[in-house]
Structure 1
Amino acid sequence: MISKTNNELISVIIPCFNEGILLERCLNSVINQTWKNTEIVLVNDGSNNQYTIEMIQKYKNFPSINTVEQINRGLPYARNMGIKNAKGNYLFFLDSDDWIEPETLEKMYFFLKSFKDASYIFADIILEGEVNKIVKKEYNFFEQLFLNQLPYSIFISKEICLKYGCYDKMMRSGYEDWEFNIRLGSHDIHGKRFSEPLFHYNVSNSGMLISKTSKKHSKIWRYIISKNKNLFRFKKLITLWKGWRSKPSSYPLFLFFGWYFLFKLLPDSWISMIFIILRNFKWFFSRKKFLNLMKKFSNKTT
């Protein structure tokens, strides 16, 4: 039985680059956590916006906030700097334009401690801003090899991060979290979904994911594959598919063999364009939709 005390220090790592307008909401969501033994590692990634600089200065003297200053080196480097400076044994990652529910850290800590087969956990996502809905993603490592299905905001031990190399600082265009959890999976370090909407994700069409990452999807994925070649050998893919096909996933897993075949044949520009198109119609390929369609088809033919 887990003793429900909050003596364990949890470090929340918040990189910030010119997001001062939304930073206060983010910081307050952590300061007001029910888990009181919390440290905020606020990494100023070379912000040059005056309002952001003033906002960081405002919170600098808070006893629970450790402010780290660096020149602009990008999100993965900033997260790694946060990991390096964190004093807690457990880490939670949160970007400066997002925020969390008051019981997030408490619930995640005890949930992780309750499941010995999980090395890190993530919550359901509440999309805010230009899109408003709740997103629920299951952990399926085979699926994760082909699509980034997990939120960046994970609860994980500092020991695991340091042991497996943290984030790739070269990945300034995005998907550094995707590469990191694929690398963890290659060492049998797997995640688990906490099925409550605790993480608020700010959606903006001018944000990194849409404006940069999606357009470079194929090149970035090719780079990820080059770093994890053994996972993408055909025999290994078959083995992983067999091991994960019975577990929950967002899409039918066999579809990814076709996607990988196209990736091998077509130029990067085509793959990125197809990826953007498919993102707009992803509801059609969902596992639930697919199974419902197959059930209807089966009923008509019997």
Structure 2
Amino acid sequence: MDASNCMLSVIMPCFNHGIYLQDALDSIKKERVNFSFEVIIVDDGSTDAYTLTKLDELKAEGYTVIHQQNGGPAVARNTAIKNAKGKYILPLDADNMLTPEYINTGIAILEKGEYQVVYCTPVFFGDTGADARTFQSIPFDITELLAANYIDNCAMFLKEVWVKNNGYDTNIPYWGHEDWEFWINAYANGFKFYFITEKLFHYRIVAASVATQFKDEKKKADNQNYIVKKHHQLYLDEYLKLNYIRKKYTTDIKRFLFAPFIFSGYLLNVIKSPFKKAEERFAKKNTTG
């Protein structure tokens, strides 16, 4: 493949998930993808014999396979992206699957230049049950994102996002929240997000995976504290904005005789809502400050 014409790099960290690798690769149908792409597989210190044999087979078939000591998802993704030739990046875990439509739709959106990150809704399959770690993807809202992650790692983004973010943060105390911090960092660096409502990739629920540690409340709390401290100014700004909005609405409700007219004005866009006022007020503050 001509590196100068490579539009997309699909990066795949793999740790002992060789049994799923072929499914992931087969899900990317070259004849149905409208853009040039490459696949980079990073073996994150696998010890499973089947996985190691499968990786050797894929290397013989011409796939780019990079071996490294086990360092976790963030390190593996950074390694892959450092070697990526694509204008855009799409991380794909070795046990998940893409659809060609995701690539075609996502790149078409990114190429317009208004957005730098595109994500969609996943289809969950595998060990789905009452305790399965599923999540609800929603349209981008920074307030919601600061509270909890709803954007899966399998999101397409301009490689420049990774550059400006200084890569995935490898200093987070425990593996599993590096993608959440990456999206917060991307927002803080001025990048814009686009949400595709269609279900365009398949997320496999695996009983024994990095995600299972999300049930460990101490690890989860340690990671959250790390992220809040790192992005404390963004969290503070958002808190101040929400507090401003709460006070404005509380004032409106106390003026109960006029409240129906005021809220009707908000709905009809005749009166500027507290949300709009907050956006303008804090945007101005951030610009001048």
Q: TM-score, normalised by structure 1?
A: 0.72
Q: Which position in structure 2 is the counterpart of 1:195? A: 197
**Counterparts of 1:205 and 1:41 in 2: how far apart (Å)?**
25
- Alignment map for 1:19-30 (pairs within 5 Å): 19-30=17-28
What residue number does 1:124 align with? Answer: 121
Please tell me the residue identity of whatever aligns with 1:119: Q
Q: Aligned residue for 1:45? A: 44
Distance 2:191 2:243 in 1: 17
Q: How much has 1:226 moved relative to structure 2?
A: 1.2
Aligned to 1:98: 96
Please say if residues 141 and 190 of structure 1, whose CA atoms lie closer than 8 Å, have aligned partners that are also in contact: no
Matched, 1:143 2:140: no
Instruction: Give 2:49's aligned amino acid.
Output: Q
Shift of 1:35: 3.3
Pairing of 1:196-211 with structure 2 (within 5 A): 196-209=198-211, 211=212
Output the amino acid matched with 1:227: K
Which blocks of at least 5 consecutive residues in structure 2 are unaligned?
Answer: 246-289
Distance 1:51 1:102 in 2: 27
Q: State the secondary structure of the residue aligned to 1:145.
A: helix
Task: Find the aligned partners of 2:244 and 2:61 in 1 and give their Cα distance.
Answer: 51
Q: Quote the offset at 1:52 in angstroms.
A: 0.2
Q: Whole-Å Cα distance in 1 between the matches of residues 214 and 166 of structure 2?
A: 22
Shift of 1:238: 2.7
Instruction: Give the SS at the match of 2:119.
Output: strand
How many Å apart are 1:189 and its aligned residue?
1.6
CA distance in 2, matches of 1:240, 1:67: 47
Distance 2:76 2:194 in 1: 25
Deviation at 1:27, TM superposition (A): 1.5
Q: Look up the match of 2:233.
A: 230
**How well do the aligned residues superpose, as a CA RMSD in angstroms?**
2.2
Number of paired residues? Answer: 233
Aligned partner of residue 227 in structure 2, secondary structure: helix
Equivalent residues of 2:21, 2:94 under 8 A apart: yes
Percent identity of equivalent pairs: 29
Q: Distance in 1 between matches of 2:12 and 2:161?
A: 19
Separation of aligned partners in 1, 2:238 and 2:136: 30
CA contact (8 A) 1:124 1:134 kept: no
Is the CA contact 1:90–1:156 (under 8 Å) kept in the aligned structure 2? yes
Contact 2:137/2:151 (CA < 8 Å) preserved in 1?
no
Q: In the TM superposition, what are the counterparts of 1:1-302 in structure 2 within 5 Å?
A: 8-30=6-28, 32=30, 33-35=32-34, 37-63=36-62, 65-114=63-112, 116=114, 118-131=115-128, 135-171=136-172, 172-209=174-211, 211-215=212-216, 216-233=219-236, 235-239=237-241
Q: Is the 8 A contact 2:12 2:91 kept in 1?
A: yes
- Residues 41 and 86 of structure 1 are in contact (CA less than 8 Å); yes or no, is this contact kept in structure 2? yes
Pair 56,31 (structure 1): closer, same or farther in 2 beyond 3 Å = farther
| Worse-superposed segment, 183-192 or 77-86 | 183-192
Max radius of gyration: which structure? 2
Q: Deviations over 1:223-248 (max 9, x none)?
A: 10111111122x542326879xxxxx
**Change in 2 beyond 3 A, CA 1:62/1:73:** same
Q: Per the alignment, do residues 56 and 242 of structure 1 end up closer, same or farther by CA in structure 2, a change over 3 Å counting?
A: farther
Contact 1:167–1:180 (CA<8 Å) still a contact in 2? yes
Instruction: Tell me by how many angstroms 1:106 deviates.
Output: 1.3
Distance across 1 between alignment mates of 2:189 and 2:242 = 13
Aligned partners of 2:162, 2:242: CA distance in 1, in Å? Answer: 24
* CA deviation map 1:198-237 (0-9, x unaligned): 110011333222x31231211110010111111122x542
CA drift at 1:153? 0.8
CA distance in 1, matches of 2:70, 2:214: 19
- SS at the partner of 1:153? coil
Distance verdict in 2 for CA 1:71–1:219, change over 3 Å: same
Displacement of 1:8 in angstroms is 4.5
| Mapped partners of 1:241, 1:213: distance in 2 | 30
What stretches of structure 1 of length at least 5 have no aligned partner?
1-6, 244-302
Inter-partner Cα distance in structure 2 for 1:161 and 1:238: 29
C-alpha displacement at 1:16, in angstroms?
Answer: 0.3
